[in-house]
Amino acid sequence: MFGKISKWMRCVAAALCLIAALAPAALADGPDGSGPNKALTPSGEWKQLTAGGAHWYIFQTPGADSDGNVARVTVEVQVAPVDSVRFSVWTDEELRRKATAAEDETVEPIGRGSAEPLDDLGIVQKLVWAGGFTMPGPYFVCIEPTGTRISGYVIKISGDKVSFPAQPATQPKATAQPKAVAPQVAERAIVSAPPAAPKAVSGPDDALTAAGDWKALGKDRGHWYAFRIPGADTDGNASQITIEMQSAPPDNASFSVWTPEGLHLWKTGVADEATLPVGRSSSLELDDVGTVQKSVWSGQFNIGGVYYVYVQNTGVQPAYYALQVMVK
């Protein structure tokens, strides 16, 4: 098992070095959600939304049929953290009016998402709008942040006669090749996945304290945490340590447990497989609505002192997590 872990970490290190040295040679033109003219279609994946930004989506309906029956449309957005995102629904005509409106004129959307009761854990919020259109589309959904924190969401647009325009194939746009640069030290308590010889990484030295609050974790990023334990008593009884993490979306975050000795050897580049992480998270079943995953590790240490937890994004999209360390 340790051989597999070591091989995995060496592969990660090689990939990170390559990414740090070479930026993409081309950028793509195409829908990016930055406006109605570049609106996206729902992908079913969680997306990250930063302060001041907005993501636009497009869908179509045929309008009322010959008998006057209107096809129903439902827009559902799941949000984490709670109250960090809102959305509105727009017709093409309303958008044209908004674009030409005077400064003192307000153009309202045809609808806005309404919050439903929170899930059992109180961390994922669902916003819903339902309605129908007598005229054919297109129609648009605008997702906006409500504050300054990073948020995550996943959007679903459904209905009996809802369709989506084909997304045009992206055309590469050539850009100048950047020069290779040395990796920069990450921001406080945020580092990339562990490299083979992390001499420049200061994450463990600036580790956070797990408080159970929710945090955003970008793709290819990680957060370090530290906790202190007393060690075994005079009878040889050691405290039981349990580390729990809730994360959304599922399968996008994991954690590992480190001893001070393992970290010391890791920082100096010594490839001693037995002193790499002493534990890794195990994923449990999903919550009832399938949006939050729970991961757990439990163990004991006879020697008192400071130990570390490294939470990393293991997926291809932003992750949101809450970490707790319990000592009994």
Model pLDDT for residues 65-90, shown as the tens digit of each residue: 888 888 889 999 988 888 889 999 99
Residue 188 pLDDT greater than 90, yes or no: no
C-alpha 196/C-alpha 174 separation (Å) is: 33
Predicted local distance difference test score (pLDDT) of residue 52: 86
pTM score of the predicted model: 0.51
Q: Which of 290, 313, 320, 307 is nearest to 44 (CA)?
A: 290
Q: What is the CA radius of gyration of the chain?
A: 24
pLDDT at 171: 47
Instruction: Report pLDDT for 103.
Output: 85
What are the beta bridge partners of residue 16?
none
Count of CB atoms situated within 10 Å of the CB of 292 = 22
pLDDT of residue 181: 37
Write out pLDDT tens, residues 242-290: 999 988 888 889 999 998 888 877 777 655 555 578 889 998 876 565 6
- Rounded to the nearest integer, the mean pLDDT of the chain is 77
Residue 278, pLDDT score: 86
CA 183 to chain centre: 23
Overall average pLDDT of the 120-129 stretch: 79
CA angle 255, 259, 265 (to 5 degrees): 105
The identity of residue 229, as a single letter, is I
- pLDDT above 80 for 180: no
Residue 173 CB neighbour total at 10 angstroms: 10
pLDDT at residue 61, as a whole number: 92
Q: For residue 27, is pLDDT > 50?
A: no
At residue 191, does pLDDT exceed 50? Answer: no
* Ordered domains of the chain (ranges, CATH): 31-165 (2.60.120.380), 184-327 (2.60.120.680)
Region 119-123: mean pLDDT is 63
Which band of pLDDT confidence, cut at 50, 70 and 90, is reported for residue 57? very high
The answer to whether the Cα torsion of 93, 95, 100, 104 is positive or negative is positive
pLDDT at 257: 92
Please report which confidence band the pLDDT of residue 155 belongs to, taking 50, 70 and 90 as the band edges.
very high
* DSSP code for 270: -
